[in-house]
Amino acid sequence: MCPVCTVGVVAGLGISRLLGIDDVVSAIWIGAFILSFSFITIDWIAKKWPRLMANYYSLPTIVVIYLFVLIPLKLDGTIGIVGNSLWGVDKVILGIIIGSLTLLLGGYADKYQRKKFGKIFFNFQRVVFPIVALIISSVIFYYITRQ
């Protein structure tokens, strides 16, 4: 995650606030992006340096990428705004957690479906399952946070 990307994330949250989109909904997509970028980075490291055995460094890589996003959000003041919480958790942190878990759930649902039925039902199924899961969670949290 580059600093420019992090600034883009902060700007995206700011723009979503101006549009009236709740932080938890925006952060759902940010969390999914961070996790997806983490997996892409791990795969890239594994292909670029196969001797390094990137699987051993998967968890530290994921943690570092999350920190590259969360630390600037905290320093910018986006995380930790008084009153910007849902269920006692900061909305940005909660959204990132929900988005990451939703992306994982969508990916596991695709793998489960392929294993159970032994085939792919439609093109780009691997992409559609996580995206639909993210859309569903975004709609749910949109209605939860609507006032």
User: Where are the chain's structural domains?
Assistant: 3-145
pLDDT of residue 32: 84
φ/ψ of residue 33, rounded to 5: -65, -45
pLDDT of residue 11: 59
> Which residue is associated with the tokens 């793998």?
111
Given a cut of 80, is residue 120 above it in pLDDT?
no
In contact, 33 and 26? CB cutoff 8 Å: no
132: pLDDT strictly greater than 50: yes
User: Which of 92, 132, 100 has its CA nearest to residue 31?
Assistant: 100
Q: What is the pTM of this model?
A: 0.78
Whole-angstrom distance, CA of residue 96 vs CA of residue 48: 29
Mean of all residue pLDDT scores within the chain: 80
Q: What is the mean pLDDT of residues 127-134?
A: 83
